[in-house]
Structure 1
Amino acid sequence: MLSPMDDYPIHQVAEPIRYVGTSDRNFYDRYYFNCHPGLDYDGEPLFLIVGLGQYPNLGVTDGFAVLRRGDDHIVARASKALGSDRLDITVGPLRIEVLEGLHRLRVVLEPTAEAPDLSFDLVFESDIPASLEARHFHRQLERVTFDTQRFVQTGRWSGILTVDGEAIPVTPDTWRGNRDRSWGVRPVGEAEPPGRRADPAIAGEQNFFWIYAIMQFEAFSIVAIMQEDRHGRRILEDATRVWTDRTREPEWLGRPEHDLAFAAGGREVTAGTLEFHRPGGYRKPDEILSVACDPVLPHYLGVGTGYGLEQDWRHGMWQGDLVVQGLREKVSDLEPWKKMLCPVDNLARFTLTEDGETVVGEGLFEVAVIGPCDRYGFTGAGDVAP
């Protein structure tokens, strides 16, 4: 079936654009944004995250906005049938407009009776070029479980954010954040039967160790990614510095390493250090770039948004022709298991030391340490820090 996109010379396979190049049910195409007023904000700390995805082989598109404000966790979410037009990036009250590709995008959440606590009309404008990350590929029991591509960029925000009836001006002098676009194959939709993966010998090895740090400084941003199995073997890694001076080439920072500290009785990260071992860095200590990571406001991304914690609302799951919902919880009331089993998007301060000089930035410090992790002494999914 044709769609308006077929009038553009962008085909990649011998199919109409509506049909992706694989029949894998888990194919997805997604936007992610985050937005915050800076760590010097004179008010209750807040951190907004927005996502919207299309799932062509499931016939679904859905999206969410989730705000951490003080102790409040506020969610607006929507899902609908995908339809024939992949250029339609709206889901009920949530829409995304590409104003200038790879540079300016508008993100709107209209106020609704179903989710009255949160709405916004915001424009993101990049301050660095879009950076293509390392391809993410993972296979388990002969099946490809991850085969994704993503680009990311940092920038500034402008517009209006309305929370509980209060209109908050968003101005680019202080409001920052990052956005990414990813697509490919990853687990989505209704949960599949685990099959042999339920075998204790296999299930006992399953884990998700993940660090995704997007550090925004005045002259550059740094993208750092680390995914490891329980033994510390790397599944994915990236470490790239992207300059605000767009005439400069991105800089590979070498192999990234991590050292995390956890809150007693859980797995929430209280502090971290990332080191980047540039070529020659193992032999020359002055070639190691070090970043101290200080979480300021943890945002429990998986709660209510579709990342798999709640079995009645998952990304790509069929909810009906159009469903809009709002949720609200106190962060202090969240069950401990939810905090342990979802990625935490920490708004963080980053202190970088390089060549004897120190600069301070801020941004996203996303961490998940789920299941066994030998590096930090977790032997099973229920282990917590002493």
Structure 2
Amino acid sequence: MLSPMDDYPVHQIAEPIRHVATSDRNFYDRYYFNCYPTESPDVFLIVGLGQYPNLGVMDAFAVLRRGDDHIVARMSKALGADRTDTTVGPLRIEVLEGLQKLRVVLEPGSEYNLSFDITFDATIPAALEPKHFRRQLERVTFDTSRFLQTGTWTGSLTVDGEDFAIDPKTWRGNRDRSWGVRPVGEAEPQGRRAVDGIQNFFWIYAVMQFDEFTISVIMQEDEQGRRIVEEAMRVWPDEARDNEWLGRPEHELTFCPDTRDVTGATITFHRPGGEVLTVTSELLLANYIGIGTGYGLEQDWRHGMWQGELVVQGLRHKVHEIEPFQRMFSPVDNLASFTLTEGTNTNTGTGLFEVAAIGPHEKYGFTSFTDTAQADDAYALAATDNTEE
């Protein structure tokens, strides 16, 4: 079936544009945004929208962390023929200027006490990240591409009747676009893969926005610490200036004892000549993006899952009441401040520190999916759980 996009010379395979190159049910195409104030970082908004062509579904969510409140608006609908339609009920994304300016709108609704009309304006060129690929037995579990941008926000946000004026001088964030194959929707029969067991997911994704540049860091490791994908890239606002590789990144995480809650992090970049750059991260506000949004904890609402022609729901939790096991199996998007030490120079910035330590990982002493950090010397100085801010 044809769609309006077929009138443009953008085809990549010998099919109409609505058909992707693989029939894998897990193919997806997604937007991600976050938005926060730099002066008083007590609000952290995350928005996502995804299309799943081989499942016939498009869904979206907005999740806001404010104080002890975890507020979710989520919606799902049947994916039509027009892939340029990026509206799911009350939530829509408008590309005002490709790779530069996008508008994100959530209309008010009785199911949730949240609405916004905000526009993202990029401060750096879109930066393509390394290909993310992972296989279990013969099945490809990850085969994705993604680009990122940092920028400023303009517009308005309303939560529980309180209005926030979104001023680009004080509101920042980052966005990404990713597409390819990754686990979505209902769980599939594992077959022989069940004998191998579930793959761990140790993941760090940091997007650090400084005044003069952005730093992007990616580290995914298997149980032994072997890298599946990594990146350490400095992106300059000037498109004529090449992105700068910062060296091999290494991580030191601090965990709250008896949990897997990360309370602090240091990342070092090791250049071939021996120079070491250091970034210390202060985690300011945790947004539990895996709870209520479709990333996999709730069996009745997962990305790409068929909900009906159009379904809109709202959820609300008190953060301090979120169960420890839910936090253990959920990636956490932390609003963070960063201090970069580079020789005699120091830069400070803000941004995203996304982290997940799910399953075994030798470096931090995790031998299963359920054990937690111990209160030994490595964690004795762990800070108070930042979920209770």
- TM-score by length of structure 1 reads 0.96
1:258 matched residue in structure 2: 251
Instruction: Please state how far the C-alpha of 1:338 moved relative to its aligned partner.
Output: 0.6
- Deviation at 1:272? 0.9
What are the ranges of 5 or more consecutive residues in structure 1 without an aligned counterpart? Answer: 282-286
Report the Cα distance in structure 2 between the residues aligned to 1:104 and 1:137, rounded to whole angstroms: 29
Q: Does 1:371 align with 2:367?
A: no
2:156 corresponds, among 147, 151, 160, to 160
Match of residue 315 from structure 2: 327
- Mapping 1:170-319, distance limit 5 Å: 170-199=166-195, 202-203=196-197, 206-281=199-274, 287-319=275-307
Give how far 1:280 is off.
Answer: 1.5
Determine if contact 1:219/1:245 at 8 Å carries over to the other structure: no
- Equivalent residue in structure 2 for 1:100, among 97, 100, 119: 97
Equivalence for 2:344 = 356
Q: 2:128 aligns with which of 129, 132, 141?
A: 132
**Partners of 1:92 and 1:349 in 2: CA distance:** 35
Corresponding residue for residue 383 of structure 2 = none
* Alpha-carbon distance, 1:244 to partner: 2.1
Aligned length: 374
The CA deviation at 1:166 is 1.4
Q: Deviations over 1:195-252 (max 9, x none)?
A: 22322xx217x21000000000000000000000000000000110001233321101
Q: 2:370 corresponds to which residue?
A: 382
Identical counterparts, % of pairs: 70
C-alpha RMSD of matched pairs (Å): 0.9
| Offset, 1:190 | 1.1
Separation in 1, partners of 2:116, 2:150: 19
Which residue of 1 is the match for residue 77 of structure 2? Answer: 80
In 1, distance between residues paired with 2:66 and 2:232?
A: 31
| Aligned-partner residue type, residue 228 of structure 2 | I
Partner of residue 34, structure 2: 34
Amino acid at match of 2:236: W
Partner of 1:284: none
Measured in 1, the distance between the counterparts of 2:265 and 2:6 equals 47
CA drift of 1:114 comes to: 2.1
| 1:250-294 deviation line (CA, Å, top 9, x unaligned) | 10112111111101110111111101112222xxxxx11110011
Aligned residue identity for 1:216: Q
* 1:50 correspondence with 2:47: yes
Q: Which runs of 4+ in 1 moved over 4 A?
A: none
The worse-fitting range, judged by mean Cα deviation, of 219-228 and 238-247 is 238-247
| 1:27–1:55 Cα contact (<8 Å) kept | yes
Superposed displacement of residue 191, structure 1: 1.1
Amino acid at match of 2:277: L
Cα distance per residue 1:271-319 (max 9 Å; x no partner): 11101112222xxxxx111100111111111000000000000000000
1:385 is paired with a residue whose SS is: coil
Segments of 5+ residues of structure 2 without an aligned counterpart are 375-389
Give 1:110-121 correspondences, 5 Å limit.
110-115=107-112, 117-121=113-117
Residue number in structure 1 paired with 2:382: none
| In structure 1, distance between residues paired with 2:285 and 2:111 | 27
Superimposed CA distance per residue, residues 62-83 of structure 1 (whole angstroms, 9 cap, x where no aligned partner): 0000000000000000000001
Q: Deviations over 1:118-164 (max 9, x none)?
A: 00000000000000000000110111010000000100001000001
Encode CA deviations 1:337-371: one digit per residue, 9 max, x unaligned.
Answer: 11010100010111000021111111000000000
Partner Cα distance (2:240, 2:137) in 1 = 45
> SS in structure 2 opposite 1:195?
coil
Taking the aligned partners of 1:245 and 1:86, their CA distance within structure 2 comes to 32
| Letter in structure 1 aligned against 2:44 | F
1:246 and 1:235 map into 2 onto residues whose CA distance is: 29
